Structures are given as structure tokens and as C-alpha cells.
Structure 1
Amino acid sequence: MFNGTHQSQCDMQHPQEMMLWALNSPIPEFNSDGFPVFDEQTARMISVHLYQCGFRYMPGEQNRLQSVADDGSIVWTDNKPLNPENHKKNIENVVKAAKQQGNDELLNILAGKLAGLANDITAELDKN
């Protein structure tokens, strides 16, 4: 996690910080290993790009909340889960883009994450 980039510490009116808090920590669907997807400089550039594209912070629309665990790691909590069909479409879009880019590494990571998720769901169903 970058220093000082928890959601409560970012200026939502400042292009370099508006989305920095959301980009500074692991994205659960991609990397639950505790490391950010982007370095701070890249995340700031993406935040500015999103700002210039018209993205703005809307607290009432926030579906995923950020908090800090006792060990200092970022924890995301889905307080308004999205429609499961949207997850399927998002995964399909990521796979399609990775194939077009020839990004086999991302495809392997995604396949591993989905296989792990399938195993977890199967284990939960077996408990019942």
C-alpha cells in the first residue's frame, strides 16, 4: 500500500488522488496476495486519466468499502454485491482482452483464481 492513500486520506476533488485509494491495494478478483496491482506513479496517472474521462467519486454508489486490518493490509468488503451476471461478463471481458493481447500470464492467473473459487464453492456445498 502506498503511504497515506487510504480513502479517508485522499482528496476526491484532486485528479491524482481521486481514484488513488482504490488503486493502491490488492484487487480481490486479481491478487489477494496483499500487493497492489500498480505502483504509486502508475496509479496516479490512471487516476488522472479516469478524472479526465469524467469519472467522479459518488459515495452513494460505492459498493466496495475499504478498511485496514490489524496487520496494516487493506481489506475490501462488498456492501452492495453486484449482479452475479455482471461478474460473468466482467470475467469474459478480461479473458477476451488478455487473449487479444497474448497475455498468457494473466490468463493463467485468472484460471487459477477461478479454479480456487470453484473448489471453495464446491466445498461449501458439500458441507450442506
Structure 2
Amino acid sequence: MTVTLSDEARQYIALFEDETGATARDCVVDDEYDRLIFLVTAGEMGEAIGPGGQHVQRVEEQLDREIKLVEDAPTAEDFVASALAPAAVYNVTISENDDRVAYAEVAEEDRGAAIGTDGRNIDAARDLAARHFDVDEIELT
């Protein structure tokens, strides 16, 4: 699947990569919540965050926006679990009926983390899963 990036998103990716040393595969400009969502190459999350979170904090300060990081994954199931972090996701199944729906099994105590304030975490997961794996919906079970 091909993801098209705006000029603005490409500029944010360039700055993010320069500041963190990690590779960003995608950037979603989320104006509703005044934040940027970066999809970080698998295995580079620690580098993106930096010691004590200093790399990502430096980018947040420069851009004066909240930053959310999501680690890439090779399968739709793993991707959805990663996108819902820090919630503990036990299992993800993808329904291939009329729509492609990801059903994520999340512990009751982590449902709030998976959903996020005003639904912002699950909205980000839905946006990214749609962009990278043609997932139409994510539902928590």
C-alpha cells in the first residue's frame, strides 16, 4: 500500500529524523488534537524516544506540538497492537467479511489507555491502520 505524504508531513519527518536519529516511515498531522503521529521503523523506538525521553521532548519543544510515536510492525495484527500501546493487547484478529475490522483483546484495566483522552489513542490507531493495512475499523474486546 502506498502512503502519500504532504509537504508539511515530509518536513516534520526530516526534522524528527535529524533530532532523534530514528527513521520515521509516516507522519500524520492531527490538527484536531494539535499533535503529530510518527510511525517509527521497527526496532528504532528506543532511539526515537532517547534517554529519559529527551529526543522526543526536544522535537515537541521545537514544534510546540504533542508527539505520539507508534512502532511499525510487519502484520496488521501486530501493527494494531503496537498502535494501541501503552495498553496491553493480548490478541488481535482481523475479520475479512464485508469490512476489514481488527478486534483487539485488551485487559479491562488498560481500556482507558487504549482509548485515550477523548478517544485520541484509538483514533490514531485507526488512522494509521487504515493507511498502512487497509483496516476499516478497530474494536476493543
TM-score normalised by length of structure 1: 0.30
Report which of the two has the higher share of strand: 2
Which structure carries more helix by proportion?
Answer: 1
